[in-house]
Structure 1
Amino acid sequence: MIRPESWLAGTFLIGTLALWAGRLRTAKVLLTTALLALITIGIFPLGLILIAPLEARHPPSPALQEIAGIIVLGGGEEADRWAASGEIALNEAGERFLAGIALAHRFPDAPLLFTGGAPRLIGAGPATRSLAETIFQAGGIAPERILIEDRARNTAENASLTLELLESLDSATPNSDAPWILVTSAFHMPRAMASFEAAGWTTLTPWPTDFRGGVFRARIGWHLARNLDELNLATKEWLGILAYRLTGRAL
């Protein structure tokens, strides 16, 4: 219910019910408000305004020398589609995998770790593990270099369970001299970095990818579906940052 589209749908619904109940004044206010909001969102890319400061927090392609390993956050995979078709399935955030594979080829001795897989309470983990392994191996990464953490349901668990996995394997610690590279979408990087730091990571270098921003003026026009999707995304991320700070899951 935090998504703007849910508020729009709810306003239209309540306005329609008020209309049928004979509450004409209330119906006019609600339906007019919802219609004006819908038109505004359809014409103006409001999500870009909210996404821009998130994506500007960490510059792309920072200078790298020696690294301890590469961490790719989940979210770019479509495990359900892969399970149904048997074909690799990625979504808009699939650049996370591409960036991770490119870094793994650039640093051939570094382990490549994927974390994610259970955004729902049940069912997604095993399929996501297999899909992530398949994507990395299709990208030319040797199986022995691949590490998978498939229990995390959110960004905070990405951070804590990844640390737990590495400690159980006696791998390079998050406080080693060489940094671990964190790969995720640029808009998500501020919350991801804050979550990993709260979990105890100190030598971490952000590698943002999947940039969603653009020039505001160039995007003015009727693009309702895209604008609404971006606004939903930006709203979710900012509320996520606020919630994580209030609950101590991010610094």
Structure 2
Amino acid sequence: MDTLVFIASKLAAFLLRAETWETLLLAGALIALLRGRIRAARGLLISALVALLALGIFPLGDLLIAPLERTYPANPRISHVDGIIILGGAEDGVGTARHHQVQLNAAAERVTAGLALAHRFPDARILLSAGSGALRHLARESMPGAEVMAAAFRETGFPQARLLLESRSRNTTENARFSYNLAQPTPGETWLLVTSAFHMRRAMASFERAGWEAVVPYPVDYRADGFLEDTGWDLAGHLDTLDLAIKEWVGIWAYAASGR
């Protein structure tokens, strides 16, 4: 059942991407042209062009992702930490396996901030939680996200003995559940949760439902710089932020509805 939910969530995420709808508009225009429906084709092409210009110029994703990033404060004051949980999403398992070098992506702050916190709290246990959350990895050589992050830690001379690797999870629900089973936190322990700021609301809800009692959110990897500051032609950047925001809001609603 979990595998079916995983596959369904990935297909839904694909259908919710802004570029998917842009492609459907263009495909509809082509079909209309082939059928001789010039008026309909013209309307679809105009809609596609207007949408493309709006997405390229205006950071619409900032309007959706900024409220998520403001849910928890940055750099919370902390004095004692028993453990630090770092969620995957920053690693490139396929690239790492192919090149035999650690490959990170735009969410690299999850790893760099986690590493800084690990040095700041030398007695804390470090739990790296990530399997593979991409369907394409099922048919390609890849490394689990936790192993990629562990390799990044080891390259800085970090001791392997401090690391706990949870490498089976494919989504946030499994991150929370599998991490709890691995860490077995005791009452009174304080754990930091490190993930992207836009993802923290869903992550905290999942960890609380999984039984974690004292988890302190430590958001990193902020994406929204402000609507006016980001306005200007940046189609790839604006699409990326919009896709992230839509995926996250739908994920929050879906998790709440399913009790995950």
- TM-score normalised over the length of structure 2: 0.89
Is 2:252 the partner of 1:241? yes
Note the C-alpha offset of 1:80.
0.7
Q: 2:66 aligns to what?
A: 52
Distance, in Å, in 1 between the alignment partners of 2:236 and 2:179 is 35
- Contact 1:71–1:112 (CA under 8 A) maintained in structure 2: yes
- Aligned residue pair count: 243
Q: 1:225 aligns to what?
A: 236
What are the within-5 Å matches in structure 2 for residues 111-122 of structure 1?
A: 111-120=125-134, 122=138
Q: 2:193 aligns with which of 158, 182, 190?
A: 182
Is 2:21 the partner of 1:21? no
Partner of 1:183, secondary structure, is: strand
Is 2:172 the partner of 1:155? yes
Q: Structure 1 pair 180/202, CA: closer, same or farther in 2 (3 Å)? A: same
What are the within-5 Å matches in structure 2 for residues 51-130 of structure 1?
A: 51-120=65-134, 122=138, 126-130=143-147
Q: Render the CA deviation track for 1:42-94: whole Å, top value 9, x for unaligned.
A: 11000111110000001111011111200000010011111111111100011
Q: Which runs of 4+ in 1 moved over 4 A?
A: 123-127
Distance, in Å, in 2 between the alignment partners of 1:218 and 1:142 is 42
What are the within-5 Å matches in structure 2 for residues 37-48 of structure 1?
A: 37-48=51-62
Letter in 1 for 2:202: R
Distance, in Å, in 1 between the alignment partners of 2:254 and 2:166 is 24
Partner of 2:78, secondary structure, is: coil
Q: 2:219 aligns with which of 198, 208, 218?
A: 208
Distance, in Å, in 2 between the alignment partners of 1:127 and 1:159 is 16
Distance, in Å, in 1 between the alignment partners of 2:96 and 2:254 is 32
**What are structure 2's unaligned runs of at least 5 residues?**
1-14
Note the C-alpha offset of 1:203.
0.5
- Contact 2:92–2:105 (CA under 8 A) maintained in structure 1: yes
Note the C-alpha offset of 1:181.
0.2
Distance, in Å, in 2 between the alignment partners of 1:207 and 1:215 is 21
Distance, in Å, in 2 between the alignment partners of 1:178 and 1:248 is 25
Q: 2:205 aligns with which of 190, 194, 199?
A: 194
- Contact 2:144–2:167 (CA under 8 A) maintained in structure 1: no
Distance, in Å, in 2 between the alignment partners of 1:241 and 1:232 is 14
Q: 1:133 aligns with which of 150, 155, 175?
A: 150
Note the C-alpha offset of 1:130.
3.0
- Contact 1:117–1:124 (CA under 8 A) maintained in structure 2: no
Letter in 1 for 2:206: S
Backbone CA RMSD of aligned residues:
1.5
Distance, in Å, in 2 between the alignment partners of 1:119 and 1:8 is 25
Q: Structure 1 pair 66/177, CA: closer, same or farther in 2 (3 Å)? A: same
Which has the larger displacement, 76-85 or 19-28? Answer: 19-28
Q: Structure 1 pair 124/64, CA: closer, same or farther in 2 (3 Å)? A: farther
Q: Structure 1 pair 187/124, CA: closer, same or farther in 2 (3 Å)? A: farther
Note the C-alpha offset of 1:124.
6.9
Percentage of identical aligned residues: 46
Note the C-alpha offset of 1:125.
7.2
Distance, in Å, in 1 between the alignment partners of 2:144 and 2:259 is 31
Letter in 2 for 1:141: F
